[in-house]
Structure 1
């Protein structure tokens, strides 16, 4: 009688009644020829020996220092030297609050000031040279506790905006003066549910976009004297908003990308609020050449140095080993890059368009620095036609105060 073979069944989608074993839709030769750029791991570091998630990442302007917000209520700080990650001086910041980390941002041109948001309702300014808290920005004007979900600092590092959960049927956008260390005020009527992302424009300090589970993306000119005047446009995505980012189209007009909580991708022209393109989870799965839609997850949208835009996407099958990016070209997604050797399900990513370096973090608590195989040579680039197009002929999907559900 032959000996019975013992083997482990492959991991498969956990959120389907009849799970699909995820695999490529074509052979390895076709995968390699389709994705023109290959990334390898240049350096990586585990933030803890215990089970810790990486919830947020940020880099300073030179991409020489990385901060990772962790699920154990702390922040790990790294230096990047010669494409190697190393722990920085005062490398671990332990929050002295009851909340958990909801975001990290470097404050200004120097890599010494780090802002750390906490769900307890405060944004703390750390001096990385000493590891001490210089100030904590918090709304103490009333007794209502406002849990922060997301925050950002504007282009000239003078204003912080934080978004909150829904509190007693109210949702708050709070503004703080960095220099005066005071609260400037807030917006209270523009969202009807939890704020999920807050993003200042990368160069215009007065331009702000916010997203929420109410499905709305709001654009504000914060130089205006009232909330009504500040709200310049409202886009109804008709889905719960997860992540936002700023881009430019071929005419140098502002464009916003939106990743939803259902892993769809949409882009909008800011001036009119028109939908430019949308890609549901199925289309993204097809673009990264995988089979299981349930395993496909979108991580972040990033800008390339030539004006192109790519989205990093993964398959959660087999602990997230498949990581790929696709580029937005008009109303199409085209293969962009492969990432070999990933060891975790990803949650966050950073990209430096100058060096083409990518940093990722995820559910196994690993910070990974990726570099292109051809990092020291000329990499394939895109030209003007591959930038985001200006408009689509689709009808507008925006309207102030109109919730999508």
Structure 2
């Protein structure tokens, strides 16, 4: 018989006591084990619940554009170095986008005068609709104006996030209106811009565009209403919503023509090939506005001259400057002034060539304007230029490239 069985048979009472003792000792061990397991379960469930709760609190939408990778743009104080405003703040600043505060309209939105809570006067652009083009315009404005620093560009103070009710951009407020207003708008009724001011505006605008082209960017919407004027009549070029990157290793960018009627390069409109010379053409229209005080488009003119560019080309071809130049400038009584204005008209003639290969570059345009202002300009030769089938006799020599060194600051658009 085994020893264990003998012990059980010989000492049954001791076995009962021993079993009772083990039962008493095992009870706390079982309770401790249950409590420990329960604790682990509670901790596990708590962490898991918090994890899913945190995921649910995060934005569920994903999007592309400059805010990619930012889970909640409005929680950030700045973006690309500029503040992110809430829609409600800008709504209040514009008095609920009061029509009386409208400053004008850009390519993709209406601009309003606004007062921020910190007392600053600003201009707020309210984009029309949230479709492809306004969103691209929104992106372009932010990327260009936060990466390009130039005293002739309007400053961007901030924007709303892509999650806001509407896309809004906040700019510095330029109080003296646009060049268009001063030439043939409300301000023209009260004060005529003297020639030396117009000349300075032309040079400042050409400087801005030269800098832009040197940074591989085409503005694509150069016009007098996008040239803002401050109280000192200094230029601030605005509205970069249509701008495009122009890599220096290509000859053109193929894209559907965009821009404002009366300013769009006819070569670009016909061939769908955007180049820096497209801006040159538009600037040529601005030059004609400066010397004539006429709008770029006027339906009251003869059909063939509704576009100011067509009118100017015909007058300059016939050398009928008296029919083009604003008589209020007094050029007929001042031979020196007349030579300067005629030189600018002839430069505009170069810019308005139908074939973009015949147009000068913006840096060349800037150099000629600076020579004219310094009164060291030699009469330009326009011999051999063909416009709409008409040819000016003999040969044409383009001015030399200026020696300009400009820093490039841009990001891919």
TM-score (norm 1): 0.23
| Higher strand proportion (structure 1 or 2) | 1
Asked which structure has the greater CA Rg, the reply is: 2
Task: Give the alignment's TM-score, normalised by structure 2.
Answer: 0.22
- Say which structure is richer in helix: 2
Higher RCO (CA < 8 A, seq sep 6+):
1
